[in-house]
Each structure stands twice: as C-alpha cells, then as structure tokens.
Chain A
Amino acid sequence: YVLTQPPSVSVAPGTTATFSCGGYNIETKSVHWYQQKSGQAPVLIIFYNKERPSGIPERFSGSSSGDTATLTISRVEAGDEADYYCQVWDNGGHRRVFGGGTTLTVL
C-alpha cells in the first residue's frame, strides 16, 4: 500500500495550507498526521482522520474522502514550517505505512 504526498507546499502567513495524502480507497482507513520540525521527533497532530490531540490548535483539521486524505492548516504561522507526514495501517501488508512527507514553507 502506497501513500503519496506532494513534496512541498508554500503559503503566505495568515493563509490556508492544504496537504494531500493519496492512497487507494484511503477513506476506509484511519489516517494519522504528524508534524516534524527540523531536528525534532514527530508530533501527532491529527488521528483517526479528523481528531485533534489535546494541545493541538483548532487551526489544524483533517478529512478523508475517496482516495485522498487531507490535512488543512488555517491561518498559517511561521512556526508551522515543518514536514508533514500521513500514516495508515496496511491490512494486506500487516504494517504501518507512511507517506513520503510534505515540506511546508511559509513565505
């Protein structure tokens, strides 16, 4: 099972950043999203497609439909610059699979 993410997204501060995660029939899977800042460990920001852990701002939201899961960051801030990864459980391969990640640049 393969998850496809665009390598980069660039947006201006205060605007909305959208990250896609493509996978066959991904809407039937639970998608988790992570933020990884340079030199740091990943942080879970969205789980089960759209749920936010405590401490994660409401600016972060998730959705999933068909073959695409989406992470949206509203009112982007400079501190949101990071790599963003999606992850699902691959039933057929009996393993967790990560997308290749998308780098967010705040212009």
Chain B
Amino acid sequence: QVRLVQSGSQLTKPGASVKVSCKTSGYTFTSSSINWVRQIRGQGFQWMGWVNTETGTATYAPDFTGRFLFSMDSPAGTAYLQIYNIHDDDSGVYFCARDSRLDAWGQGTQVTVSS
C-alpha cells in the first residue's frame, strides 16, 4: 500500500538548518506530486508548496519563499524539505503529502526550535 515515512523529531537552535526526509513506497514516485504542509499547534495547517516529481520543479507558497528548499531523490523515492536560518516560530509539525488531493500523508516530523 501507499506509504510515506518521515524522518524523526528534531530539536534545533535558532539560525540553524534542518532537513526532513519523506520516503515513499507502494506506488511510482514520479506519478504523483509531493506537497509539504506545516501544522503549528493552535494555528491549523499551512501549505508550504509542492514538488513536481516528474521534473523536480519546486513551487513555494508565498509565505515560504527564501529559507525553504524542496528537493528529491527520484531513484530513492524520497523527498526532502530543508529549512535554513530557522526561526523560533518555525517550530511545528511538518508533513509530506502525496498528490494535489493530499491523499496520503507521512506521519509528521516535529521540529522544535529553542535556544
């Protein structure tokens, strides 16, 4: 069956960089886009953008330009999210989700930013 498995929780300091992975299985990686979504407690979901897994082209939501980078390793069926110069208010749970309907989700990766 379709599975998206994310890397584990991370505790980091302001100004650092983090990288979250999303390993897919159960389908052809290049047949569906990968979206990234952030959930901050008490603030609901924020869609960060998506990666066209056929071309590798990344599209970022307006609030997620500059410090955020989507990448992928197609042979490994894995997508990545990198956050540079991380801020306190980037703390939250980051999800990868498949397809424009977000029809399958990873389990989420808790990123905590604390000095």
> Which residues does A use to contact B, with CB under 8 Å?
32, 34, 40-44, 47-48, 53, 85, 87, 89, 93-101
Q: Bound state CA distance, A93 and B46, in angstroms?
A: 13
Task: Verify A93–B62 contact, CB threshold 8 A.
Answer: yes
The number of chain B residues with a CB under 8 A from chain A is 20
Interface residue? B80 (CB, 8 A): no
> Which residues does B use to contact A, with CB under 8 Å?
35, 44-47, 49, 59, 61-62, 95, 97, 100-108
A residues near B103, Cβ cutoff 8 Å: 44, 47, 53
A50 → chain B closest CB, angstroms: 13
A residues near B46, Cβ cutoff 8 Å: 98
Interface of B is mostly: strand
Q: Bound state CA distance, A40 and B93, in angstroms?
A: 11
Q: Bound state CA distance, A102 and B74, in angstroms?
A: 37
A residues near B105, Cβ cutoff 8 Å: 41-43
Which residue of B35, B44, B100, B106 contacts A41 across the interface (Cβ within 8 Å)?
B106
* 16 more CB-based (< 8 A) A-B contacts, given A44-B101, A85-B44: A32-B101, A34-B102, A41-B95, A42-B105, A47-B103, A53-B103, A89-B100, A93-B62, A94-B59, A94-B61, A95-B61, A95-B62, A96-B47, A96-B61, A98-B45, A98-B47
Task: Verify A44–B102 contact, CB threshold 8 A.
Answer: yes
B residues near A100, Cβ cutoff 8 Å: 44
Q: Bound state CA distance, A56 and B90, in angstroms?
A: 33
Q: Bound state CA distance, A99 and B44, in angstroms?
A: 8
Q: Bound state CA distance, A89 and B97, in angstroms?
A: 15
Task: Verify B35–A96 contact, CB threshold 8 A.
Answer: yes
Q: Bound state CA distance, A48 and B99, in angstroms?
A: 13
